[in-house]
Chain A
Amino acid sequence: MTTAMAAVRQSYRDDKRQKAIRQAGRVGRLNPLLFLAPAGLALLAVSVFPVFDGLWLSMHNTLLSAQRSDFIGLGNYWQLVGDDQFWSAWQHTLVFTAVSTIAETLIGLAMALVLHETFSGRGMVRAAMLIPWAIPTVVTSKMFGWLFDGQHGIVNWLLVQTHILSGPANWYGSTDTAFWTIVIADVWKTAPFMALLLLAGLQTVPGALIEASRMDGAGALQTFFYIRLPLLLPTLMIAGMFRALDAFRIFDLVYVLTGGGPADSTEVLSTLTYKTLFSALDFGYGSALSVAMFATEALVAFGFGLFIMRGMRRANG
């Protein structure tokens, strides 16, 4: 009797425990989502919502000072297609992105290779190398403004002293050179950052492989092209993508150095959008500009992504 009672009580208890476990399982499955919710909400609020709100705004003719905000569908985009200033800024931005990314990657790679070797004072040099990158861009801009100054700039002085130029060049005042001086300033500033990323990549290349290739009689060039470069390629692509997406947003150098001039020759998408949005307070058209910028940047990222994925798939066989 007692045993039977005990058995019943036991099974009842088991039942209860199982139920509790099942319940805990259900709550347990929901728990992660619950914990993720704050982060998800934050992302929605600060990242997804603004993108869609911008898209929505770009279909209005919102102008704060005219107190109007009517839905005009794709009107702003039609205007965009026929806007010479937009296309010239678009072109400048893409050329800037391509040239500065390639130059920074090549120079950064060279710097990384040097800094990967062991020599005395390497730690110091590695730290010193990062100084250009650590300087605020506005300061860099002012600095390059003085370096390339048409009247008293040291670049002109050096070039005239060495008879490379017959007279001082007007770096920022000429449509032929203004854009390239900005590229030079950007390369100077960001190549060290690329070097740092690539140095980290180089350190993941196993020393044993390098040693083995040396024993097989490979020279420095062969080691570089057949061992280091292929193993560095994924890092190179990812670093390149980051750099390209960052270069695409170029704003401060242009804003401080030239303001987009002379004759729109240094106008890029960020400065044009800034002027339209914050100087003219033309929120509708300005949003259309930033959507166009977003779309272009997404395409650039997609291109890189495709390349990186293909490389990874090949590496995984």
Chain B
Amino acid sequence: MTDRSEHNVSGRSASTSGFGRRSFLMAAGAALATPAILKTISVARAGSPTEITFSSAKFFGKQTVAQVVDLFNQSQGEIRVTYDELPPPSSSTEVHQGLVQRLAKKDGSPDVFTQDVVWIAEFAGAGWALALDDVISAAEAAEYFPGVLAACKFGGKLTALPWFVDSGMLYYRKDLLSEASIAVPETWEQLTTAAATLMKAGKAKIGFSWQAKQAEVLICDLVEFIASNGGSILGPDGKTVTLADKPAIEAVQFMYDTIAKYKISPADVRSWDEEPSRMPFTGGDVAFLRNWSYVYPISQDAKTSSVVGKVGVAPLPHFAGGKSAACLGGYQYGVNASTKNRDAAVTFVKWLSSPKTQLTFATELGLAPSRPAVFDSAELGKAQPFMQTLKPVFVGATARPVTPRYSQVSLALQSAVSKAVNDGNVAVALTDAKKKIESIVSA
């Protein structure tokens, strides 16, 4: 039988080719379908649990998101979660597109999803995210970092639940600072003086490395500078543009001055995003670096870094009279507003955001918890000692402008701020951007 059908496929004449190919395809199709059918049967026998789907960008460390989802499936019998994996967060545009395409169909799939913190307002504004105020009590909400929780709200409603947090932070060279007996800077002024001193003494080629490439990271740096001067980009209503106010103008002027006036940052930062700004730091040329938490493990790996054991991390400096601000990154959970299994979806999302699961994500995937309490656990201290020290950094986490039109606002900001840090006409660039952003958010 097998011999004959093989003969048919390989040595077919013109008249039998159709039959040969069709029967081959049918056999192949049946072979492929069998496990799927068997699987369905075995699931049905288990007492038909509620089926929900979960879409997330791809994260991995020692384990994957899929393995964490399996933990949930094995822990109980009422809900069965199917995991649908999107591209990794480095392909943010593709993840965004994938989610928008799925959610815009409004067919309830996926029931639960993960989203970059800057999309929360957009998805809530479109009516795709379920408000979770009824199921998350005020006491439960108070267990998260306030900055992260604030970023999960849109129009006063909680439309997302925190997953993990990352934010901007200040990396510094412990050895250089102690040699010159300089304290870790708490204000931008102190940082400027310290950086200039170290450069003058020939200890560091670059005083302060940050990111001014016309890209999303420029907006993250911008938020940190402006918020640490008590300013903002959008008012709390999401409609008033406060970008051309005094605190913002002063902050952007300082961004330009680090390059042009104080010369603690090379002109190259205008073309640097995360990695180009990180490389000279781990190469030993930089005294201070603003970057995300991913830099630390790289800086402690002797294969990639010449500053192993010499790196300290602190909250970013602030302007006189301001408070340290760290731009909030990270992905958060959402529940699809058109889910057909609301209770199951809520149960699953609360499990995902629970202290225990957050600890798993922290120890197994290296994702920092969004609950301060989890930071104090002994297990985290053992598995991720560095992560534990970041608690004070994340306390100052500040959201980027909260508006459903964020991606358009961000593009307008990138263009304007890139101009400002290039030619120094700060007030003009910010006033132009203000007009543009006003027309975007009011439309």
Is there an interface contact between B418 and A262, defined as CB atoms closer than 8 Å?
A: yes
Other-chain contact of A262, B122, B405, B422 (Cβ < 8 Å) = B422
Q: Please, how many angstroms separate the alpha-carbon atoms of A178 and B123 in the complex?
A: 36
Residues of B within 8 A of A282 (CB): 408
Q: In the bound complex, do residue B280 and residue A66 qualify as a contact, i.e. CB atoms below 8 Å apart?
A: no
Chain B residues closer than 8 Å to A67, beta-carbon distance: 104, 126-127
Q: Does the CB pair B269–A173 fall under 8 Å?
A: yes
Q: Does the CB pair A259–B422 fall under 8 Å?
A: no
Give the distance to chain A from B264, nearest Cβ to Cβ, in Å. 15
Q: Select from chain A the residue with minimum beta-carbon distance to B415.
A: A264
Report the bound CA distance from A232 to B418 in whole Å.
46
Task: Please report the total number of A residues contacting B with Cβ < 8 Å.
Answer: 28
Find the residue from B104, B270, B405 having the highest chain A CB count within 10 A.
B270
A279 beta carbon closer than 8 Å to chain B: yes
Q: Indicate whether A170 reaches chain B with its CB closer than 8 angstroms.
A: yes
The residues of B with any CB-CB pair to A shorter than 8 Å are: 93, 96-97, 100, 104, 122-123, 125-127, 212-215, 266-272, 280, 404-405, 407-408, 411, 414-415, 418-419, 421-423
> A263 to B268, Cβ gap below 8 A?
no
Closest residue of chain A to B439 (Cβ to Cβ) is A79
Indicate whether A132 reaches chain B with its CB closer than 8 angstroms: no
Q: Bound complex: CA of A151 vs CA of B270, how far in Å?
A: 13
Q: Is the CB of A172 within 8 A of B271?
A: yes
Interface SS, A side? loop
* Chain A residues near B97 (CB-CB < 8 A): 278, 281
Task: List, in ascending order, chain B residues with CB within 8 A of A175's CB.
Answer: 422-423
Residue B214 contacts which of A64, A170, A263 (CB distance < 8 angstroms)?
A263
CB of B104 within 8 A of CB of A64, answer yes
Give which listed residue, B123, B266, B411, B418, contacts A65 with CB less than 8 A: B123
Q: Does A21 contact B (CB under 8 A)?
A: no
Decide yes or no whether A97 CB sits under 8 A from chain B: no
- Cβ distance B363 to chain A, nearest Cβ, rounded Å: 34
Closest 7 CB pairs of A and B: A261-B214, A173-B270, A173-B271, A172-B271, A150-B268, A263-B419, A170-B267
A259 to B418, CA, bound (A): 12
Which residue in A85, A178, A261, A278 is a CB contact (below 8 Å) of B93? A278
Given the known inter-chain contacts A65-B100, A65-B125, please indicate yes or no for A264 contacting B418, CB distance below 8 A.
yes
Are A65 and B280 also in contact (CB < 8 A) when A264-B418, A281-B407 are? no
CA A280 to CA B421, docked complex, whole Å: 24
> In whole angstroms, what is the CA distance A155 to B160 when docked?
49
A262 B271 Cβ-Cβ under 8 A: yes
Ordered by A's residue number, 21 sampled pairs between the chains whose C-beta atoms are within 8 Å are A65-B122, A67-B104, A85-B415, A151-B266, A170-B270, A170-B271, A173-B212, A173-B272, A258-B213, A259-B213, A261-B271, A262-B213, A262-B271, A262-B421, A263-B415, A263-B419, A263-B422, A264-B419, A279-B93, A279-B96, A280-B411
**Told that A65-B100, A85-B415, A262-B270 touch, could you supply 15 new A-B pairs with CB distance under 8 A?**
A65-B125, A65-B405, A66-B404, A150-B266, A150-B268, A150-B271, A170-B271, A174-B267, A175-B423, A258-B271, A260-B214, A261-B418, A263-B418, A275-B411, A280-B408
Q: Mark A252-281, 1 if CB is under 8 A from B, else 0.
A: 000000111111100100000001101111
From A173, A279, A280, give the contact of B268 (CB < 8 A).
A173
Candidates B125, B269, B271, B421; contact of A178 at CB < 8 Å? B271
User: Chain A residue with minimal CB distance to B214?
Assistant: A261
Bound CA span A278–B411, Å: 12
Residues of B within 8 A of A276 (CB): 411
Most buried by B among A85, A173, A178, A260: A173
A170-B267, A170-B270 in contact; A263/B93 too (CB < 8 A)? no
Known: A65-B404, A258-B214, A264-B419. A281 touches B100 (CB 8 A): yes
Give how many A-B residue pairs fall within 8 Å (CB-CB): 94
A69 to chain B minimum Cβ distance, whole angstroms, is 11
A81 to chain B, nearest CB (A): 15
Which residues of B have CB within 8 Å of A278? Answer: 93, 97
Residues of A174-226 at the interface with B, using a CB-CB cut-off of 8 Å, are 174-175, 178
Q: Is the CB of A279 within 8 A of B411?
A: yes
Q: What residue in chain B is nearest A148 (Cβ atoms)?
A: B271
Beyond A173-B270, A263-B418, whether A66 also contacts B126 by CB under 8 A is yes
Least Cβ–Cβ distance between A138 and chain B, in angstroms: 14
Shortest Cβ distance from B117 into chain A, in angstroms? 16
Q: Complex formed: what's the CA distance from A173 to B96 in Å?
A: 29
**In the complex, A259 Cα to B276 Cα: how many Å?**
14
- A280–B5 Cα distance when bound, in Å, is 54
In the complex with contacts A170-B267, A178-B271, A259-B213, A151-B280 CB distance below 8 A: yes
Residues on A with C-beta less than 8 A from B268 are: 150-151, 170, 173
How far is A260 from B273 in the complex, measured between Cα atoms in Å? 13
| Alpha-carbon gap, A189 to B439, bound state (A) | 41
Given contacts A66-B404, A278-B97, contact A264 B269 (CB under 8 A): no
**Chain B residues whose CB sits within 8 angstroms of the CB of A263 once the complex forms:** 214, 415, 418-419, 422-423
Q: Is the CB of A259 within 8 A of B93?
A: no
In the complex, A173 Cα to B421 Cα: how many Å? 11
Q: A173-B267, A278-B93 are in contact. Are A261 and B125 (CB under 8 A)?
A: no
List chain B residues, Cβ under 8 A from A172: 271
Which one of A175, A278, A280 has the highest number of Cβ atoms from chain B below 10 Å of its Cβ? A280
Query: Which residues from chain A contact B93 at a C-beta distance below 8 Å?
Result: 278-279
Q: Using a CB-CB cutoff of 8 Å, which residues 30-64 of chain A contact chain B?
A: 64
Q: How far is the CA of A173 from the CA of B212 in the complex (A)?
A: 9
Note all chain A residues with C-beta closer than 8 A to B407. 279-281
* Shortest Cβ gap from A79 to chain B (Å): 9
Q: How far is the CA of A280 from the CA of B437 in the complex (A)?
A: 13
A279 to B269: give the CA distance in the assembly, Å: 24
Contacts of B214 in A (CB 8 A): 258-264
Q: Give Cα A172–Cα B212 distance, bound, in whole angstroms.
A: 12
Q: How far is the CB of A68 from the nearest CB of chain B, in Å?
A: 10
Tell me, in angstroms, the Cα distance from A133 to B210 when the chains sit together: 35
Contact of A261 with B414 in the complex, beta carbons under 8 Å: yes
Which A residues touch B418, using CB under 8 A?
A: 261-264
Chain A's nearest CB lies how many Å from the CB of B77? 37
Q: Which residues of A contact B411 (CB under 8 A)?
A: 275-276, 279-280
Q: A64 CA to B102 CA in the complex, in Å?
A: 12
Q: Considering the chains assembled together, what is the distance between the CA atoms of A34 and B153 in angstroms?
A: 60
Residue of B104, B126, B266 near A170 (CB, 8 A) is: B266
